[in-house]
Structure 1
Amino acid sequence: MAGPAPGQGRTRFLPESGRVAVRLTAEERARIGVVTDRLAAQPHRIEILAYGSVLDPARITDLTNSYAGAVASLRTARARAEVSAGALRRARSLGPKVVAGAQLETVEGSVHTDEAAVAAAESQLRTLAATAQQEWGPVLGRAIVERSPLVTRLIERADLLVQVTLPSGEAMKPPPATASAEVPPQSERVTLHFVSPATRTDQRIQGVGYYYLVAGEAGLLPGMSVQAFLTSPRESVGIAVPESAVIHWQGGAWIYRGVGADTFARHPLKADAPISADRYVVDDLGPEADIVVTGPQAVLSEELRGQVQASGDTDDD
């Protein structure tokens, strides 16, 4: 005897909720690309969703070059001061019989001018060092002054600097050594490495911020805004469901869970479900559950097809 045609005899209403369950044998699931996995509830470290801005390194480049120029100017000024000081010592040692008073005054004037140039160059150097510290904090400020590999990689865009800002009212002490960000448009995650606390907040968010490094080849560009994720010490107990298991339909997010042998029902995903390691932590599925982790859209199609056909059968009656 022939079995039911595709989409027929596969749906039934669950008495406890009124929702529709879908029957799919292992052969049918394999044919339409549906994969399930039995997942258990356990504690998961929660990720805080933050806001990332990829910063333009132009200001760091300008400060680094200005500081290097100021160092060169100071060396030149000191060299000139040493020459004029030496000339003054020689003029004085020769005495007034050899060096006229006017000549001595000229040499002394050169010494004073060169000393003033040294003082001005030293002041400029201190000002630039203080500016670097004020604008970028002690870690990046010192890197600018020392032209360390950290700053060299930023100037060469081998690395990019990302300012990660927590939602207003959130704080993390200490911030995690690594975080992640989603690269548009595929939303693939890339790793961020902590540098230092940010010296200013993002005006749009008004939260605490941190500087992180990301590889220049990661796909981000200066000026981009991205979603960032920082793992907090807080934990949530539940089943970690991957993004591939989630479908978005009729304004909500859903997953499919097993409710019997070869039978699956759509289950709502809470809007505020915590995230851990790029997975949603679901706390209302019990200690363990069979979850459709691949192909939930195909199950939804079967559910809707079954409902339409069931409705047609009712109309015929």
Structure 2
Amino acid sequence: MSNLGKRLLLALVPIGAAALVAWGWLSYQPAPSVAAPAAAPASRVSNEDGLTIVTLDEATQKRSGIATDALTATKRRLEQTAYGSVLDLQQLIDFQTRYRAAAADVASARAALDASSQEAERNRVLFRDHMNISQKALQAAQAAWSADQAKLESAEANLEGVRASAQQQFGPPLGSLIAGKDTALAGLLNGQDMMLRIVLPIDSSRSAPDQITFDDGARGRVAARLVSASPQSDPIAEGPTFLYHAPASLPVGSKVIARLPMGQQPAPGVVIPRTAVLWFGGQPWAYVQQGKDRFVRRLVDDQSPYDGGYFVDGGFEAGERVVTRGAQLLLSEEQRPPITAAAACKDPECDD
């Protein structure tokens, strides 16, 4: 080998060694690490003993404006709910008009009968005493008397028919009203008062109470007094139907929710503030705070309006705190789908 070849060989040896070292270094480099999947964030909703619990820390409650009030114990007479409507009394007014016209006909017929009766009696006396009167005149006077008597009977029958029709449709008390015999109900015909037709629950075994209350909106609770059983049933609801007299405040045909008192002794319970009640699934609910950061939703069952809220005799205890502001936010949190780790990750590589 020539000297030139030896020198080239010696120059290539270091270069080859360096290449081998570089290849070995690259071959043994560790594989790039793969990021661990993100942990799913802690859920604010849990389930314990069949109850759904919403957990919010105090800072979140403050930011969300959640406020609570403590329930206080109270007592009140239990009530039963009944439904009805404001009765249209136009037909009763029409009956009164017809009755007055029939009564005028009776008075006119009676006056005519009195006159013809006196004339017939006078002619009879004259004819008996052989005075200057013919038998034909006597017979004419008697015929006039008989005709007037028949007219009076017809007018009286018409008057009684109007009264009977009114009683059949509205009951005896209102039927007597058209004749002006019940001054306590006189306000019904001049629009000062109104008549409620209330349907008691079918399973109610007790008689209709003498007084009930109903909510007319603007004035709050208004009392109504029993008049009589209704001779006509309600066209919509089924059950024993009664008529109640109340001060006028609602238009004819308005639907009414009445409260019927039950029992003699007041029952203990609590009042759920109106601001604490929210509707979900067609039912009223309220959130009760448990501890500092836990909230559970409870059904406000068998409630009745009372003192700016709803009186309940079960399901809630005095001293418990109910959410009066922010209940809708808790419901939204409760209904929110659970957040998974994939949903929480915003990196596109989470989808790989």
TM-score higher than 0.5: yes
Match of 1:144 in 2: 178
What is the identity, as a one-letter code, of the residue corresponding to 2:297?
A: H
Corresponding residue to 1:193 among 225, 228, 247: 225
Corresponding residue to 2:70 among 28, 32, 37: 37
Corresponding residue to 2:251 among 197, 221, 228: 221
Structure with larger RCO (C-alpha < 8 A, sep 6+): 1
Deviation of residue 147 (structure 1)?
5.4
Matched ranges for 1:1-317 at <5 A: 17-23=51-57, 28=62, 32=65, 34=67, 36-40=69-73, 44-95=76-127, 96-146=130-180, 148-181=182-215, 189-216=221-248, 218=249, 220-233=250-263, 237-249=268-280, 252-261=283-292, 263=293, 265-269=295-299, 272-275=301-304, 277=306, 279-292=310-323, 294-295=324-325, 298-301=326-329, 304=332, 311=339, 315=344
Deviation of residue 304 (structure 1)?
4.2
Distance 2:319 2:134 in 1: 101
Deviation of residue 136 (structure 1)?
2.0
Distance 2:106 2:210 in 1: 40
Distance 2:192 2:161 in 1: 28
Distance 1:18 1:61 in 2: 58
Please state whether the residue corresponding to 2:321 is helix, strand or coil. Answer: strand
Distance 1:73 1:46 in 2: 53
What is the identity, as a one-letter code, of the residue corresponding to 1:37?
A: A
Distance 1:173 1:280 in 2: 24
Shifted more, 73-82 versus 12-21: the winner is 12-21
**Quick check: 1:241–1:282 contact (8 Å CA) kept in 2?**
no
**Quick check: 2:66–2:327 contact (8 Å CA) kept in 1?**
no
What is the alpha-carbon root mean square deviation over aligned residues?
3.7
Distance 2:185 2:244 in 1: 13
The alignment's TM-score, normalised by the length of structure 1, stands at 0.77
Q: Deviations over 1:225-278 (max 9, x none)?
A: 3333322228765433243321123555321223235x46132215x5243646
Evaluate the alpha carbon distance shift between residue 91 and residue 252 of structure 1 in structure 2; reply closer, same or farther with a 3 A threshold: closer
**Quick check: 1:21–1:303 contact (8 Å CA) kept in 2?**
no
Evaluate the alpha carbon distance shift between residue 150 and residue 259 of structure 1 in structure 2; reply closer, same or farther with a 3 A threshold: same
Shifted more, 149-158 versus 46-55: the winner is 149-158
Distance 1:307 1:224 in 2: 37
What is the identity, as a one-letter code, of the residue corresponding to 1:51?
A: Y
Distance 1:70 1:252 in 2: 55
Deviation of residue 178 (structure 1)?
2.6
Distance 2:334 2:103 in 1: 77
The alignment's TM-score, normalised by the length of structure 2, stands at 0.70
Name the count of aligned residue pairs: 296
Larger radius of gyration: 2
Deviation of residue 44 (structure 1)?
4.0
Match of 1:6 in 2: none
Deviation of residue 134 (structure 1)?
2.5
Please state whether the residue corresponding to 1:19 is helix, strand or coil. Answer: strand
Evaluate the alpha carbon distance shift between residue 266 and residue 148 of structure 1 in structure 2; reply closer, same or farther with a 3 A threshold: same
Please state whether the residue corresponding to 1:214 is helix, strand or coil. Answer: strand
Deviation of residue 221 (structure 1)?
1.8
**Quick check: 1:21–1:266 contact (8 Å CA) kept in 2?**
no
**Quick check: 2:45–2:52 contact (8 Å CA) kept in 1?**
no
Evaluate the alpha carbon distance shift between residue 250 and residue 205 of structure 1 in structure 2; reply closer, same or farther with a 3 A threshold: closer
For structure 2, the residue ranges without an aligned partner over 5 or more in a row are 1-41, 347-352
**Quick check: 1:252–1:268 contact (8 Å CA) kept in 2?**
no
Q: Among the aligned pairs, what percent are the same residue?
A: 23
Evaluate the alpha carbon distance shift between residue 228 and residue 62 of structure 1 in structure 2; reply closer, same or farther with a 3 A threshold: same
Deviation of residue 84 (structure 1)?
0.9
